[in-house]
């Protein structure tokens, strides 16, 4: 048991990574508290309008769409730790100003829109830099575990933040939640300052001034193993991951839930997400492409089912596996991209990943809010699941055509699915999970080990 726990949390033995995780956990608990209270505030100020909720979510991510590639260029040119201190300080300042407006009782809907935009600008700079900074905190052999623990930290916050916000909204009031969440947002600034720069695993390059965005795009365009997961997450991220819009509206409009009960839906989603994140903590190799595609297929199925949930309890139960496969998919795609990229391009490639994963949210959130307002919130959920499933099927066909692999379904002597590769005989896939198609451990793909070689 001790050996198992030691394997799961081995990256926390690194002092700089401990500081990074602690700062992120405290900040993200506050951020999720803020977002939960913000969603409730928007519904109160807009007379329960899903369209207004979609607009706020869109404004949070418009800067990601516009600035992320530029931020990736900054990450490849300048000191990531310094950039993260500045971005987190800016986020804290914007959050404080907004919390003061709410506490003073003068907040209006347009204030929420402006605050969402400025907080999104800070996040647009911070997110790709933070994604690529993890590789500097630990040595290469610990990178899979460090990335998985970062995802787990995010989902621990996503569980505790909305739940705590729901309780505080019921016991105190909305201004109190904003003030508390703002205080927590300052934590990363302090932890980044306390890090030891000499212990960071940096890659020295002499051409940092020539790090161009277009070179990163061309690099990805030549790499099918990077292009496929990035393209898949572009569709799923834009259409399937709009839970901030759909869950708040579903709870209040369709299930007539109060603020504390609304937090439970997000918590159910986050519990499953935490399980998906923890499932990847023991990963030691780059995940296979069929693992990513299989997770996308299952995510689409469960999200489709949530759209037909007859009541609050069934929706909560279905959100657990939906959350599991959402983060298992996102984490698997992230690992596949980050563990296969040349370190010289990591900042720009991860910026592209963040762009398609989060930067497309303004489009998806606006569409989801418009659809929910005109055709009902449940239909916006099952339609998103259906589109995500179709995208996964498209990715599977693309991969099979590119690799020459074939899928063979056999009914005798028992039902089973085989993956037939041109390089080797057919290998049997697990009968209990026919949709999750992955290669055997003997064919696991290695990590990139230098700036000149790509482990594909």
Instruction: Identify the residue whose tokens are 């900040």.
Output: 27
Same domain flag for 439 and 331: no
Highest mean pLDDT pick, 82-96, 126-140, 211-225: 82-96
Chain segment 412-442, per-residue pLDDT in tens: 777 777 777 776 544 444 333 333 343 333 3
Looking at residues 63-71, what average pLDDT do you find? 80
Given this model, what pLDDT does residue 445 score?
A: 44
Given this model, what pLDDT does residue 434 score?
A: 38
pLDDT category at 54 given cuts 50, 70, 90 is: confident
Same domain flag for 36 and 68: yes
Does 1 have pLDDT greater than 80? no
Decide if 206 is inside a domain.
no
Given this model, what pLDDT does residue 296 score?
A: 94
Q: What phi and psi, each to the nearest 5 degrees, are found at residue 109?
A: -60, -40
Q: Which domain holds residue 325?
A: 8-199+214-403
Chain segment 209-227, per-residue pLDDT in tens: 556 778 878 888 889 889 9
Same domain flag for 283 and 264: yes
CB 377 within 8 A of CB 224: no
Q: What is the b/e burial string over 198-209, where b = at least 16 CB atoms within 10 angstroms of the residue's CB?
A: eebeeeeeeeee
Does 371 have pLDDT greater than 90? no
Chain segment 373-403, per-residue pLDDT in tens: 788 888 889 999 999 999 999 999 999 988 8
Please report, rounded to a whole number, the percentage of residues in the chain having pLDDT higher than 70: 85
Decide if 360 is inside a domain.
yes
Per the model's pLDDT, the better-predicted residue between 228 and 158 turns out to be: 228
Looking at residues 313-332, what average pLDDT do you find? 89
Same domain flag for 161 and 32: yes
Same domain flag for 361 and 430: no
Tell me the torsion sign for CA atoms 45, 46, 49, 55.
negative
Tell me the average pLDDT of the chain. 79
Per the model's pLDDT, the better-predicted residue between 443 and 420 turns out to be: 420
Same domain flag for 183 and 301: yes
Does residue 25 sit in helix, strand or coil? helix
Does 167 have pLDDT greater than 80? no
Tell which of 371, 386, 403 closes a domain: 403
Tell me the torsion sign for CA atoms 71, 447, 232, 357.
negative
pLDDT category at 67 given cuts 50, 70, 90 is: confident
Decide if 204 is inside a domain.
no
Chain segment 338-348, per-residue pLDDT in tens: 878 887 787 78
Highest mean pLDDT pick, 106-115, 143-152, 290-299, 410-419: 290-299
Domains held by the chain: number: 2
- Model pTM above 0.85: no
> Two tokens at 234?
């572009």
Looking at residues 158-183, what average pLDDT do you find? 79
Chain segment 25-38, per-residue pLDDT in tens: 999 888 888 887 88
Distance of alpha carbon 187 from alpha carbon 372, whole angstroms: 36
Give the CATH number of the domain where residue 375 resides. 1.20.1250.20
Given this model, what pLDDT does residue 439 score?
A: 39
Please report, rounded to a whole number, the percentage of residues in the chain having pLDDT higher than 90: 21
Given this model, what pLDDT does residue 164 score?
A: 80
Given this model, what pLDDT does residue 390 score?
A: 95
Per the model's pLDDT, the better-predicted residue between 75 and 329 turns out to be: 329
Distance of alpha carbon 372 from alpha carbon 387, whole angstroms: 16
Looking at residues 293-306, what average pLDDT do you find? 94
Same domain flag for 399 and 421: no
Distance of alpha carbon 316 from alpha carbon 168, whole angstroms: 21
Give which of 298, 311, 301 is closest to 264, Cα–Cα.
Answer: 311
Given this model, what pLDDT does residue 426 score?
A: 45
Q: What is the dihedral of CA 380, 384, 387, 392, to 10 degrees?
A: -170
Same domain flag for 420 and 379: no
Looking at residues 124-137, what average pLDDT do you find? 86
Per the model's pLDDT, the better-predicted residue between 295 and 139 turns out to be: 295
Decide if 412 is inside a domain.
yes
Least confident of 221-225, 260-264, 325-329, 388-392: 260-264
CB 62 within 8 A of CB 114: no
Tell me the torsion sign for CA atoms 221, 224, 229, 234.
positive
Given this model, what pLDDT does residue 159 score?
A: 66
Least confident of 2-11, 120-129, 239-248, 303-312: 2-11
Decide if 186 is inside a domain.
yes
- Please state, in angstroms and as integers, the Cα–Cα distance from residue 299 to each residue in 3, 35, 195, 399, 436, following that order: 31, 24, 38, 19, 11
Does 349 have pLDDT greater than 80? yes
Given this model, what pLDDT does residue 86 score?
A: 94
Decide if 455 is inside a domain.
no
Decide if 77 is inside a domain.
yes
Decide if 207 is inside a domain.
no
List, as one string, the DSSP characters of 146-211: HHHHHHHHHHHHHHHHHHHHHHHHHHS-HHHHHHHHHHHTTHHHHHHHHS-GGGS-PPP-S-GGG-
Same domain flag for 395 and 422: no
Given this model, what pLDDT does residue 437 score?
A: 40
Same domain flag for 352 and 421: no
Same domain flag for 277 and 355: yes
Does 204 have pLDDT greater than 70? no
Same domain flag for 386 and 411: no
Chain segment 74-83, per-residue pLDDT in tens: 887 888 899 9
Highest mean pLDDT pick, 117-121, 234-238, 299-303, 402-406: 299-303
Given this model, what pLDDT does residue 430 score?
A: 39
Chain segment 187-199, per-residue pLDDT in tens: 999 999 999 988 8
């Amino acid at each position: 048991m001790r050996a198992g726990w030691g394997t799961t949390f081995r990256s926390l033995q690194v002092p700089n990574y401990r500081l990074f995780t602690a700062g992120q956990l405290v900040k993200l608990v506050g951020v999720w508290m803020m977002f939960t209270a913000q969603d409730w505030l928007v519904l109160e100020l807009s007379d329960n309008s899903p369209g207004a909720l979609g607009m706020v979510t869109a404004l949070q991510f418009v800067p990601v769409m516009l600035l992320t590639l530029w931020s990736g260029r900054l990450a490849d040119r300048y000191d990531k730790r310094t950039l993260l201190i500045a971005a987190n300080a800016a986020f804290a300042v914007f959050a404080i100003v907004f919390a003061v407006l709410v506490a003073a009782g003068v907040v209006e809907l347009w204030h929420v829109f402006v605050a969402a935009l400025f907080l999104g600008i800070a996040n647009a700079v911070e997110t790709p830099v933070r994604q690529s900074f993890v590789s500097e905190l630990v040595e290469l052999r610990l990178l899979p575990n460090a990335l998985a623990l970062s995802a787990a930290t995010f989902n621990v916050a996503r569980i505790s933040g909305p739940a705590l916000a729901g309780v505080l909204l019921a016991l105190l009031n909305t201004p109190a939640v904003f003030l508390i969440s703002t205080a927590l947002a300052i934590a990363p600034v302090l932890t980044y300052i306390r890090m030891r720069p000499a212990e960071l695993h940096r890659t020295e390059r002499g051409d940092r001034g020539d790090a161009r965005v277009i070179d990163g795009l061309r690099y990805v365009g030549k790499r099918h193993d990077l292009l496929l997961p990035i393209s898949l997450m572009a569709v799923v991220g834009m259409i399937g991951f709009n839970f901030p819009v759909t869950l708040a509206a579903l709870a209040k409009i369709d299930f007539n839930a109060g603020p504390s009960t609304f937090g439970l839906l997000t918590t159910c989603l986050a519990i499953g997400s935490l399980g998906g994140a923890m499932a990847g903590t023991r990963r030691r190799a780059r995940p296979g492409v069929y693992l990513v595609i299989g997770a996308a297929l299952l995510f689409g199925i469960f999200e489709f089912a949530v759209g037909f949930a007859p009541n609050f309890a069934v929706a909560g139960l279905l959100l657990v596996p939906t959350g599991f496969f959402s983060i298992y998919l996102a984490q698997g795609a992230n690992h596949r991209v980050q563990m296969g990229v040349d370190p010289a391009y990591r900042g720009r490639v991860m910026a592209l990943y963040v762009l398609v994963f989060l930067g497309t949210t303004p489009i998806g959130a606006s569409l989801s809010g418009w659809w929910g307002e005109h055709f009902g919130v449940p239909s916006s959920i099952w339609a998103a699941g259906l589109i995500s499933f179709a995208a996964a099927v498209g990715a599977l066909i693309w991969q099979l055509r590119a690799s020459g692999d074939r899928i063979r379904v056999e009914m005798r002597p028992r039902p089973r699915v085989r993956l037939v590769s041109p390089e080797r005989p057919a290998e049997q896939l697990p009968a209990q999970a026919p949709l999750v198609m992955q290669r055997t451990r003997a064919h696991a793909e290695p990590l990139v080990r230098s700036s000149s070689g790509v482990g594909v």
